[in-house]
Chain A
Amino acid sequence: MSKLVRIALPVLTCLMGVSILVRADQPTTAPAGVISEKSREFWCFRPVTNPSLPVVQDASWCRNPVDRFVLSKLEEQHLRPAPPATKIELVRRVYFDVTGLPPSPVQIKAFVSDPAPDAYERLVDQLLASPHFGERAAQHWLDVVRYAETEGFEYDRHLPDAWRYRDYVVSSFNNDKPFDRFVTEQIAGDEIAPGNPECETAAIFHRLGPVRRNAGNPEVAASRNEVLTERTDIIGAAFLGLTIGCARCHDHKFDPILQKDYYRLQAYLSATEEHDILLAPDEEKKEWQRKTLAINNKIKALQARAKSATGSDATRLKEEIETLEDSLPANPATIPGIGNDFAHRAEIHVLHRGDWEKKLDLVGPRPPTVLVSDDLPELAADDPAPRTQLARWLTDPHNPLTPRVIVNRLWQDHFGRGIVNTANNFGINGERPTHPELLDFLANQLLQNGWRLKPLHRLILLSNAYRQSSRSTIEQSAMRIDPEDRLLWRFPKRRLSAEEIRDAMLAATGQLNPKIGGPSVMLPVDPELTQQLYKPSQWQVSSNLEDQHRRSIYLIAKRNLRLPFMDSFDQPALTTSCSRRESSTHAPQALELLNGRLANELALALAARLEQDCGHDRAQIIEKAYQLTLGRSPTDKERGLAAQFLKDQPLKEFALALFNLNGFLYVQ
């Protein structure tokens, strides 16, 4: 690799558009290599406190401690919460929020007509116990760990059975696995329980990043360095809420993270290697190995010949090799896991400007300096379970970041924004918490609950803050004081995510296949899309129609082929951690919902269902259609407009119109 390459490569992810900020006199951690006491005092590095409940004027409004914290901030600004949401609004809100699915007309009716004072509480408990809860919670986590089932780059190779990680996450949330355990299994599942499929599956976590594999002269050390970089940075973002990757080339420009800290974190992973675990019975495994070996040998022979071949010979050989590659037998059941290979452990050095060829100090595993005492020694280089040690530190009850970061994500899941708005960045460039005491209160609750998340979900969902209307009576004045509604003077309405829109359309038609788990599904797509793949044969459409109607979380997450519908409604790009979804508004979304194949097919299906359920009774059709899509009865005016339309227009167009309504696309 040339000098130029060597200089430029390491700049990979570190340098950033911060020059404006660098020029300003930002507080930095200088002098280099030292963490000042002041830095240690930055809010997120301080121990989690145990705040007392604030005193509020209108204590009667408060249903649980969460409300005390929320109301106290509102009162400070002379604001007040909105009135309670109606039961109709609340039921749609909480179903989407907790399960990602709309309530059925029957479920709506059951809740609305239940006069018991604890009706809502029972509904929340029922939803948290639903297997769909785990699917919804998993989607949030999969965004954070930039879950995809392919490696990206040129080959976009499919990781064998990567979906097992998705299922692991779904079932972990459904079983309310303690979060410390959840972290530990992902970081070190293979170390703590070798041979245990669940723990080995959790550790697929380390395999989820994009991987560059290339033909030709491989730079082994450079590739290793790229892989380690991916694996280190995601730990910082997902668990610690720190942009630790910024310290790869130099001490962090803003946060008290030393360059050495970055490589010490990486050193926990120095022996971590890919390790596919075949789950199939021995016979099947042997058969697969035999077939694979035979074809691979043929490929190798052809590759050897291709080296010296020229012109059309070379082209022909290349094609033959490709044909052979396509004929390789499908993987038997596999966990694309990881394992320690101590014999080949890479020594981890601090790298000058992140350049893998410019090695500085040799370092061993140790947590970031700002979070430990200065004189804490590094872990021994030959520690037999280094990632277990890392997990132990991450989940130590005294670690101030891990619990704060996860409870903040939870809050964001329910209110759209976190208490810290920048959920992956609690550092100096991130935003400060709007309710720091509430954040610590929740973090404490988490620890007191033995790291279980469901009690926290429950606490939040049962609060009056959550149950208030999205329509405020003091909007005008509140908009002046807090235009972003960060203090929650009303419930923030939100547009459904890409996955929810598709799932809700499917649910309305009655075609949604509620099956949980299993291999991912590839939908039929325009040939133009698959043709743009390096290997179009990678896209194998699932022939089973019922599979095509499964929830969106089971659609394959392929880095080089993302579905235009999902793309257009802000599904993340699957390449870097996504801490919060965008919610943009633009014309191609309208084109998708008006002219797209998905919307039109499902509108047709909805029309068929309405006809089947209601015959030709127009009033009944309109009522049912509104229930199925907007989760409420139409108003008289809406009824009139719809009836007028249906006099001479096709039912399918009416169904399509409903999918396009704000009332369908948004949750109040």
Chain B
Amino acid sequence: MCNDHPAHSRPTRNRREFIRDGLCGFGSIALASLLHQQQARASSFGALSSRSSHFAPKAKSVIFLFMAGGPSHIETFDPKPLLNQLHGQKRPKEFGETKYQFIKSTARLLGTKRTFKKHGQSGLDISDLFPHTAQHADKLAVIRSCYADVVVHSAAQYQLFTGRIVPGFPSMGSWVTYGLGSDSDSLPGYVVMPDPHGGLEGGQPIFANGFLPAAYQPTVFRPGDHPVLNLQNPSDVSPAQRRKTLDLIRELNQASPDPLDEEFSARMNAYDLAFKMQSESPKLFDLSKEPQETLDLYGIGTEPTHDYGRRCLMARKLIESGVRFTCVVSGGGPGKLQWDAHDDIEENHLRKSAETDKPVAGLLADLERRGLLDSTLVLWGGEFGRSPEAESGKGRDHHNQGFSMWMAGGGIKGGQAVGATDALGLRAIESPYHIRDIHTTILHQLGLDQNQLTYPHLGRNERLTFVEGKVIHQIV
């Protein structure tokens, strides 16, 4: 949004650049051009050793199933028998200290009522909250040793999406779109589908493009049949009428004193794209033509899965049409409508898993049978996990020092759990993976090198991974 960088790396000023990188959401950027641009940028900073090129990608696109509010690892993918044994006791000293947002050091451990079973050929542990997802166990790589830096929602949500605990930095969807563009010429490159129940603590900046040009902003879908803002003609204007207005705009621009100006031409191209988007994408958003079998697969038409199922199916359709990054949010509005189970972990997680399990499983199945899973990286998780100790009797507080996320598809080796928390699920102790490592791995699967995907801002070459992350080699 904001420009404090050398002229040669400035965004989209003329026709050539518009075609190269300005279409961003709506066209594709050749990686070679991007590299060229970065090298040009680098050279003006002085000496620079030769840079490795980006490599062949395994995934083309990403779907992030964002479980907002922070699902418990203890109830989902990280069984902790000792916790049940120590239920009601204080945490033994040898597990060390921690700090939560709300609960105090006097809190008692809370056992789980969930039961775990081994699933698939791999025998991956998954709790009874996810009977449908469990059928895809062999596709999932569960990372049990995730950790992040903050224990409060807003800052943790910023970190999960932008790598920073403060607002104002570009979201991973914006970074990926900046790096790769979109394979669709009539859809945005980066789509967020929020929960219709309301917003999240971190608000707009979670998903935003930060200092990247507005071209990399997310398209935040709205609930209902018209998800994209401004994609319909105003109600009093017919498509034929609007076509005539567009023709007039073109003719008057061409009649102006500078019809050949490059930047002006770029702007006229943007109108062509807008028109294409407007005429083609409504077909995509219309789910009424989908076969009943597909709707059933996602749990569309039945409660409580209808809403999340709809959005998961939409994600599949978007990815299929070339959208680069799609985020489907589960949870919004008041904490109890998120995975934020302060009061009652049972009630909350039974409800939230019932809403999402079948749609998520349906998405994995649908991607697989359409041959899209290999090229689509699916990520599942929240901004943190939950405390082994009880809050207000039967709830759990936020907890950022050890929690689970999973990835599937996009070249990820499924059927395994990597890393480990301690015996209570308090702290990631074996192969701990920071949120940065998740980011690095996503970029890696897309063929992007975290060190090369940079953008100059206020005197620094910023990147998604902040300080360097590492690829989770066990799963790629």
Contact = CB atoms under 8 A, between A and B. Distances in A.
A198 to B, nearest CB: 29
A17 B42 CA distance: 12
B154 A154 contact: yes
Contacts of B457: 576
B392 A424 contact: no
A532 to B, nearest CB: 3
A102 to B, nearest CB: 17
B384 to A, nearest CB: 11
A395 to B, nearest CB: 23
B343 A21 contact: no
A645 B263 contact: no
Interface stretch (A178-186, A440-448, A635-643): A635-643
Contacts of B277: 587, 591
B248 interface: yes
A415 to B, nearest CB: 13
B344 interface: yes
Nearest to B96: A2
A575 interface: yes
Contacts of A427: 459
Interface stretch (B108-116, B118-126, B227-235): B227-235
A112 interface: no
Contact of A215 (B11, B102, B219): B102
Contacts of B400: 5
B208 interface: yes
A424 B211 CA distance: 14
Contact of A665 (B3, B155, B267, B468): B267
B244 A645 contact: yes
Interface residues of B, number: 127
A214 B393 contact: no
Interface in B294-344: 332-333, 336, 342-344
B149 interface: yes
A663 to B, nearest CB: 5
Given A16-B462, A156-B203, A590-B274, A662 B253 contact: yes
Contact of B205 (A8, A16, A573, A584): A573
A587 B463 contact: no
Contact of A20 (B5, B167, B332, B461): B461
Contacts of A592: 230
A594 interface: yes
Contacts of A649: 241, 244-245, 248
A127 interface: no
B98 A484 contact: no
Nearest to A243: B459
A81 interface: no
A11 interface: yes
A581 B48 contact: no
Contacts of A576: 2, 168, 211, 457-458
Given A154-B201, A243-B459, A310-B394, A586 B4 contact: no
Interface in A1-26: 1-2, 4-5, 8-9, 11-13, 15-21, 23-26
Nearest to B188: A588
A115 interface: no
For this complex, into which size category does the number of interface residues on chain A fall? 35 or more
Given A18-B460, A660-B271, A582 B3 contact: yes
A187 interface: no
A569 B214 contact: yes
Interface in A638-668: 638, 641-642, 645, 649-650, 653-654, 656-657, 660-663, 665-666
Interface stretch (B23-31, B133-141, B357-365): B23-31
Contact of A17 (B151, B392, B462): B462
Given A422-B5, A425-B4, A587 B203 contact: no
Contacts of A584: 11-12, 22, 213-215
Interface in A578-626: 578-592, 594-596, 600
SS of B interface (majority): loop
B343 A311 contact: yes
A560 B205 contact: yes
B222 A526 contact: yes
Contacts of B270: 585-587, 589-590
A20 B454 contact: yes
Contacts of B45: 21, 24, 26, 429
Contact of A24 (B22, B49, B222, B466): B49
A656 B220 CA distance: 25
A657 B458 contact: no
A75 interface: no
Contacts of A526: 222, 229
Nearest to B221: A528
A600 B223 contact: no
Given A579-B3, A591-B231, A657-B248, A531 B198 contact: yes
Interface in A525-546: 526, 528, 531-534, 536
A534 B4 CA distance: 32
B466 to A, nearest CB: 6
A212 interface: yes
Contacts of B434: 8
Interface in A117-132: none
B244 A586 contact: no
Contacts of A140: none
A85 to B, nearest CB: 12
A216 interface: yes
B230 A595 contact: yes
Contacts of A20: 42, 48, 51, 451-452, 454, 461
Nearest to B42: A20
Interface string B137-160: 000000000010111111100000
B166 to A, nearest CB: 7
Contact of B274 (A572, A579, A594): A594
A586 B12 contact: yes
B77 interface: no
A153 B11 contact: no
Contacts of A378: none
A417 to B, nearest CB: 7
A373 interface: no
B267 A575 contact: no
A660 B249 contact: yes
Contact of A309 (B200, B214, B252, B392): B392
B234 A595 contact: yes
A590 B266 CA distance: 11
A311 B394 contact: yes
A430 interface: yes
Q: Which of B18, B154, B232, B233 has the most CB of A within 10 A?
A: B154
A490 B434 CA distance: 51
Contacts of B332: 532
Interface string B184-223: 0000100000100011111111001011011101011011
A637 B252 CA distance: 9
Contact of A484 (B7, B220, B233): B7
Contacts of A531: 198-199, 333
A421 interface: yes
Contact of B466 (A15, A570, A595): A15
Interface of A: 1-2, 4-5, 8-9, 11-13, 15-21, 23-26, 143, 152-154, 156, 210, 212, 214-217, 219, 237, 243, 246, 308-311, 314-315, 417, 421-425, 427, 429-431, 471, 484, 486, 495, 526, 528, 531-534, 536, 559-562, 564, 567-573, 575-592, 594-596, 600, 635, 637-638, 641-642, 645, 649-650, 653-654, 656-657, 660-663, 665-666
10 contacts: A15-B467, A17-B454, A152-B205, A214-B154, A429-B45, A559-B205, A579-B458, A594-B274, A649-B248, A657-B248
Given A24-B49, A216-B102, A531-B333, 9 more contacts: A17-B455, A24-B46, A154-B154, A311-B344, A571-B1, A573-B208, A576-B211, A586-B23, A650-B241
Query: Which A-B residue pairs are the 8 nearest by beta carbons?
Result: A575-B168, A560-B203, A532-B199, A16-B460, A578-B2, A590-B274, A425-B459, A216-B101
